[in-house]
């Protein structure tokens, strides 16, 4: 798991997309996800997660911002891609005003962060 955490953090810092196999147990749906990762943290239940924007165009715009639990990822499949993103595709409040979360790493957009801190 340590290697996966480092891959995710490096991707967030450099604003690279990540790809991984994911089993969404709540929706009983598995597949490869390609995500713009914005935040890596620990939720109130103690679970590690990545918050990001799913690039799958078959998903509705409202459903693209998701939290992905590390425990539901195939660790061997997690990869940092060469593709980068340059801006947030979601409301910055969902990233910079996250409550009940321990933030380990967050995407750095100085022009937005100034509004919050």
- The predicted model gives 41-47 an average pLDDT of 94
| Cβ atoms within 10 Å of 106's Cβ, excluding its own | 18
Query: Which residues face 21 on adjacent strands?
Result: 32
pTM attached to this predicted model:
0.88
Per-residue pLDDT tens over the stretch 87-100: 888 888 888 787 78
- The boundaries of the domain holding residue 87 are 2-116
Give how many domains the chain has, as a whole number. Answer: 1
Most confident of 63-77, 82-96, 102-116: 63-77
């Amino acid at each position: 798991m340590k290697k996966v955490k480092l891959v995710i953090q490096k991707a967030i810092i450099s604003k690279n997309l990540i790809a991984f196999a994911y089993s969404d147990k709540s929706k009983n749906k598995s597949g490869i996800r390609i995500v713009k990762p914005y935040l890596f943290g620990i939720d109130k239940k103690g679970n590690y997660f990545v918050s990001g924007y799913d690039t799958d165009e078959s998903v509705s715009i409202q459903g693209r911002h998701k939290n992905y639990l590390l425990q539901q990822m195939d660790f061997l499949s997690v990869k940092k891609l060469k593709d980068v993103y340059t801006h947030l595709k979601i409301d910055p409040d969902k990233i910079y005003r996250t409550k009940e979360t321990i933030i380990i790493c967050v995407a750095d957009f100085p022009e937005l962060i100034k509004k919050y801190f």
